[in-house]
Amino acid sequence: MAGSDLTAFTLAQGPEISFIAGMFLGIYFISLAFANRWLLFTDDGWNLKRNIQWFTFIITNAIAIPVSINQVMKVRISVADAQFVEQGHPPGEYVESHWMPILQCGVTIVAILLADIVLIYRLWMTFMKRWKFVWFPTILWFGCLSCMVLQLFLMIENVHNPDFGPYKWATVNMVVGPGIALIPLLGLSIVLNVYCSGLLIRRIWKSLQESGNSSSKTQLQLLIRVLLESGILYLSTSIVHFGIWFGYDNYPIHVMGSIHTAVIGIVNNLIIIRVGQTRLKREEHHTNNQKLTTIMFVEDETTSMSSTYQRSV
């Protein structure tokens, strides 16, 4: 069904979308505050780290910008719809300004691109900065970027010419952002995350099998659990968001748009928090005061691997 034939969400559904957006935005900012604690301060107190991972810190906090804009816009649309009805207009006839869906879709994709960059960076650091392990996800990332450019082109062109191209013949949702661009983008991002997470877990598992140190094994097992939990959370949300673009209702797309964008930031923050907590637990039991750095899976290679990954976080 073409996007132009889809029904808008009702007036009663607007507050529901706003509530979901606000709830997930609150969870996101709480996780961001905790993530910054582990990024900026030492594990044993509130002293600033000597070597802050600035790349991870900047990208982590940059994600807050598109996440916040997206969630605020969800609430703004709901309020504007209610005000429109209060002015005596029939429910369901409120039409957003042309720039609103363009900005909404744009910031959602920016959040996805930033989170994927962090994941590629972690993979690169974990494999000792060897590019042969990251060229494939890098190509996928540029594929996502290309889909973003296509999306913006389609949306801007449609403002000037409503009869333009896929808005007439596309059989997927084209109202809440052009599904013809967003569906392949989400697909590429899902493949990228499966590939990177799979390689990270495989690398840790290999070091786990080679490790003879029980403390190191516990550390690596915890890292695998962190990656699995975060990966499952992100992938399940992305897959659901991917699937609803083939539906016939805009309401679930708005709901999943609120959830998905926030989950992108929450998952990234959870990895930082869990790795920091894991690192602290290990240091508390490490009698020789050896300090872990991020997953550098390489006592000797195992500890080094765990340190490398944590350093990338």
pLDDT at 287: 44
CA separation (Å) from 97 to 36, 73, 81, 106, 110? 36, 12, 12, 15, 21
Give pLDDT tens digits for 99-145: 887 888 888 889 999 999 999 998 898 887 888 889 999 999 999 99
- Among left, alpha and beta (phi > 0; psi -120 to 50; other), residue 33 is alpha
Whether the CB-CB separation of 69 and 124 falls below 8 Å is answered with no
Whole-number mean pLDDT of the chain? 78
Q: Could you tell me if residue 176 is inside a domain?
A: yes
Q: Could you tell me if residue 93 is inside a domain?
A: yes
pLDDT at 153: 87
Query: In CATH, what number is assigned to the domain containing residue 61?
Result: 1.20.1070
Band the pLDDT of 93: cuts 50, 70, 90.
Answer: low
Give pLDDT tens digits for 269-298: 998 998 888 777 766 665 444 444 444 433
Q: What is the pTM of this model?
A: 0.80
pLDDT at 165: 66
Whether the CB-CB separation of 181 and 267 falls below 8 Å is answered with no
CA separation (Å) from 113 to 55, 102, 116, 145, 181? 15, 17, 5, 7, 15
Q: CA geometry: angle at 28 spanning 26 and 33, to 5°? A: 100
Q: Could you tell me if residue 252 is inside a domain?
A: yes
Higher pLDDT, 309 or 71: 71
Domain containing 75 equals 3-193+224-277
pLDDT at 35: 93
Q: Could you tell me if residue 255 is inside a domain?
A: yes
Give pLDDT tens digits for 9-64: 566 677 777 788 888 889 999 999 999 999 998 877 788 888 888 888 999 999 99
Higher pLDDT, 196 or 218: 196
Least confident of 26-35, 175-184, 189-198, 299-308: 299-308
Number of domains in the chain: 1
